[in-house]
């Protein structure tokens, strides 16, 4: 353990109603602190007992009657027959560690399981009751509408997300129109270049040829004359002359054969080159209009390149990018209609579920207010009337929690109008109403263990006895643990645990003891009589116990 003032504690809490009593400051709250930490409350090293390296808390549950918890454990692959072992370790170094059935889990998973195992009603439950969401949650829990509420909250989230998308797209409509027009214009400019067959290198090359066609023709004709047409000085004539003079010498100088072969090859190549050059020159023609067209095309290319800060070779890719963006904008524009259709479907489904929720809440409200009214009358508010008001929200309002606000009302005296419990001046009355609500809303719950931490503060006498009876009734069906200072409540319990604190020179330590019948009589007498315990007080305590046995 090593938690705060508790060095170690091994406590078996039985089925039924168990009470914890003891002097103020004895350490009753430490047990609840330990339970809270083991069940997933936030922790830090301040909880560790002085001189210890870590605090460790273990809880073991019998899940025979906890079907929801069994199901949760199976769904999360953490089940172990009908038992559940929870372990929480808090150390000075690093974050705390959590385990379920000896398997490490996140704090979030531990908290999810804990909600199905233990329900804690703290000392300030009556203050929490003043919050509208708490009142709504209590009614929904009683009316068994929690699953429906979750579905409605999920639908509302989807509706809100879809509605935000529509509004965002509508607000961007002006930007969309301007951007679409610009993209269409830019794409049209680029498409003038016949992008499907666009080849900048070819265009540039053809322009260069046409721009220099006269020089090409002049030079080409000159070289054709030099290679072939000049009968005396052409290259072919010179080679022919060489062959004519060298060939007769082959008989007397055979070494010249290789040379004559090379000259013969040169004769053929010069002849072929001349023919090719002639065909090329014949195919050339001066075309001023085509040259003009190419110049205009190159001018457009260079203008667009400067405009988009790209090279000519990147023009097709740029056109593809513009086309993709344009298609995306058009698709987004079309999506608005689709989103509106989705929004209408979500609204229809929402109204269907919300109307069903309203009906179930109204039925549950009638039943719950009757039960609570009966209980508070037994708790000393003889003329009290408890009411639950379901106030419709404006017609076109979609709320995450349904179509109405839930308000708890009370009329403490005949003839007085019912007022919201937030306007109750008496803390004692509010405590009794809170306890009545907790008792009334607990019967149909599947949670096997309920803890009440001094929820009976502010009441006493016969009212306290009735509170004890109610808690004992709860203990007949589930495990109830109650921290109390009231002997009327303590005497109603099935089991009585006494918390005491011992002091030594260096250490203060708390301990918990299960009381025998004789010990219970003395403890209840202490609670009745204070410092001085008389025979009469002991007799009264024994009578209280016997009356509840």
Residue range 374-393: average pLDDT?
A: 87
The answer to whether 227 and 270 have CB atoms below 8 angstroms apart is: yes
Q: Decide if pLDDT at 17 tops 90.
A: yes
State the pLDDT at residue 349: 96
State the pLDDT at residue 262: 93
CA distance 329 to 547: 81
Task: State how far the alpha carbon of 538 is from the alpha carbons of 331, 497, 499, 519, 522, in Å.
Answer: 85, 18, 20, 11, 7
Phi then psi for residue 419, to 5 deg, are -125, 160
Higher pLDDT: 274 or 506? It is 274
Q: Decide if pLDDT at 205 tops 60.
A: yes
Instruction: Name the 3-class secondary structure at 57.
Output: strand
User: pLDDT band at 530, cuts 50/70/90?
Assistant: low
The answer to whether 206 and 348 have CB atoms below 8 angstroms apart is: no
Residue range 295-321: average pLDDT?
A: 87
Higher pLDDT: 46 or 409? It is 409
Q: How far is Cα of residue 483 from the mean position of the Cα atoms in its chain?
A: 37
State the pLDDT at residue 68: 86
Q: In the block, which residue shows the tokens 């870590």?
A: 54
User: Model's pTM, two decimal places?
Assistant: 0.60
Instruction: Name the 3-class secondary structure at 286.
Output: coil
State the pLDDT at residue 14: 87
User: What are the pLDDT digits (tens) for 164-186?
Assistant: 988 887 776 667 777 888 888 88
The answer to whether 525 and 51 have CB atoms below 8 angstroms apart is: no
- Ramachandran category for residue 194: left, alpha or beta (phi over 0 → left; psi -120 to 50 → alpha): left
CA distance 142 to 6: 38
State the pLDDT at residue 76: 92
C-alpha angle 292-297-301 in degrees, rounded to nearest 5: 145
Q: In whole angstroms, how large is the CA radius of gyration of the chain? A: 48
Higher pLDDT: 177 or 228? It is 228
User: What are the pLDDT digits (tens) for 21-63?
Assistant: 888 766 677 778 888 888 988 877 777 877 788 888 899 998 8
Tokens representing residue 250 in the block? 């082959």
CA-nearest of 427, 426, 424 to 411 is 424
Residue range 247-258: average pLDDT?
A: 88
Phi then psi for residue 194, to 5 deg, are 50, 65
Residues 6+ apart with CB under 8 A from 78: 100, 101, 103, 105, 113
Q: What percent of the chain shows pLDDT beyond 90?
A: 26
CA distance 548 to 484: 17
In this structure, is the dihedral angle defined by the CA atoms of residues 447, 452, 455 and 459, taken in order, positive or negative?
Answer: positive
Q: Decide if pLDDT at 125 tops 70.
A: no
First to last CA, the chain: 34
CA-nearest of 518, 190, 140 to 357 is 140
Residue ranges and CATH numbers for the domains of the chain are 1-117+449-472+479-509 (3.40.50.300), 176-329 (no CATH), 516-549 (no CATH)
Lowest mean pLDDT among 82-86, 370-374, 429-433: 429-433
CA distance 227 to 270: 7
State the pLDDT at residue 173: 61
Residue range 274-291: average pLDDT?
A: 85
User: pLDDT band at 126, cuts 50/70/90?
Assistant: low
Task: State how far the alpha carbon of 229 is from the alpha carbons of 49, 265, 274, 519, in Å.
Answer: 116, 19, 9, 140
Pairing of strands 449-453, 118-121: parallel
Tokens representing residue 63 in the block? 């899940």
CA distance 410 to 416: 10
Higher pLDDT: 26 or 100? It is 100
Q: Which of 155-159, 175-179, 231-235 has the highest mean pLDDT?
A: 155-159
Helix axes 200-211, 213-224, angle to 10 degrees: 70
Name 97's bridge partners.
Answer: 89
State the pLDDT at residue 549: 61
User: pLDDT band at 119, cuts 50/70/90?
Assistant: confident
């Amino acid at each position: 353990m090593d938690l705060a003032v508790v060095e170690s504690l091994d406590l078996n809490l039985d089925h039924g109603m168990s009470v914890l009593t003891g002097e103020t400051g004895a350490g009753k709250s430490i047990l609840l602190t330990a339970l809270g930490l083991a069940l997933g409350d936030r922790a830090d090293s301040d909880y560790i007992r002085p001189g210890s390296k870590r605090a460790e808390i273990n809880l073991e549950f019998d899940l025979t009657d906890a079907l929801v918890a069994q199901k949760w454990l199976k769904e999360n692959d953490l089940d172990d027959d009908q038992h559940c072992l929870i372990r929480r370790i808090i150390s000075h170094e690093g974050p705390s560690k959590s385990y379920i059935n000896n398997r490490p889990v996140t704090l979030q998973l531990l908290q999810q399981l804990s909600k199905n195992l233990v329900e804690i009603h703290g000392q300030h439950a009556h203050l929490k009751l003043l919050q509208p969401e708490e009142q709504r949650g209590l009614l929904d829990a009683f009316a068994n509408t929690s699953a429906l509420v979750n579905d409605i909250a999920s639908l509302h989230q989807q509706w809100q997300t879809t509605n935000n998308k529509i509004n965002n797209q509508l607000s961007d409509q002006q930007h969309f129109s301007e951007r679409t027009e610009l993209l269409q214009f830019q794409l049209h400019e680029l498409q003038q270049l016949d992008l499907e067959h666009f080849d900048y290198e070819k265009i540039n090359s053809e322009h260069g040829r046409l721009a220099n066609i006269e020089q090409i023709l002049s030079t080409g004709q000159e070289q054709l004359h030099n290679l072939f047409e000049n009968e005396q000085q052409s290259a072919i004539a010179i080679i022919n002359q060489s062959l004519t003079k060298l060939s007769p010498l082959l008989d007397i100088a055979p070494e010249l054969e290789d040379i004559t072969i090379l000259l013969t090859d040169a004769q053929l190549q010069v002849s072929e080159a001349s023919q090719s050059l002639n065909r090329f020159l014949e195919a050339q023609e001066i075309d001023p209009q085509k040259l003009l067209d190419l110049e205009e095309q190159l001018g457009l290319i260079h203008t667009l390149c400067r405009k988009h800060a790209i090279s000519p070779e990147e023009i097709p890719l740029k056109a593809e990018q513009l086309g993709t963006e344009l298609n995306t904008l058009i698709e987004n524009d079309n999506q608005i209609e689709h989103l509106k259709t989705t929004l209408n479907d979500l609204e229809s489904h929402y109204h269907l579920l919300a109307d069903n929720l309203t009906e179930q809440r109204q039925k549950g409200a009638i039943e719950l207010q009757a039960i609570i009214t009966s209980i508070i009358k037994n708790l000393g508010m003889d003329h009290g009337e408890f009411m639950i008001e379901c106030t419709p929200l404006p017609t076109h309002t979609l709320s995450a929690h349904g179509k109405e606000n839930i308000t708890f009302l009370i009329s403490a005296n005949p003839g007085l109008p019912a007022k919201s419990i937030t306007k109750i001046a008496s803390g004692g009355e509010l405590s009794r109403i809170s306890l009545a609500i907790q008792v009334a809303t607990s019967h149909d719950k599947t949670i096997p263990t309920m803890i009440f931490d001094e929820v009976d503060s502010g009441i006493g006498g016969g009212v306290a006895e009735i509170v004890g009876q109610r808690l004992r009734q709860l203990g007949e069906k589930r495990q109830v643990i109650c921290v109390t200072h009231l002997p009327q409540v303590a005497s109603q319990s099935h089991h009585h645990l006494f918390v005491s604190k011992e002091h030594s020179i260096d250490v203060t330590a708390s301990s918990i003891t299960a009381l025998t019948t004789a010990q219970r009589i003395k403890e209840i007498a202490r609670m009745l009589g204070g410092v001085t315990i008389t025979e009469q007080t002991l007799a009264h305590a024994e009578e209280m116990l016997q009356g509840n046995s």
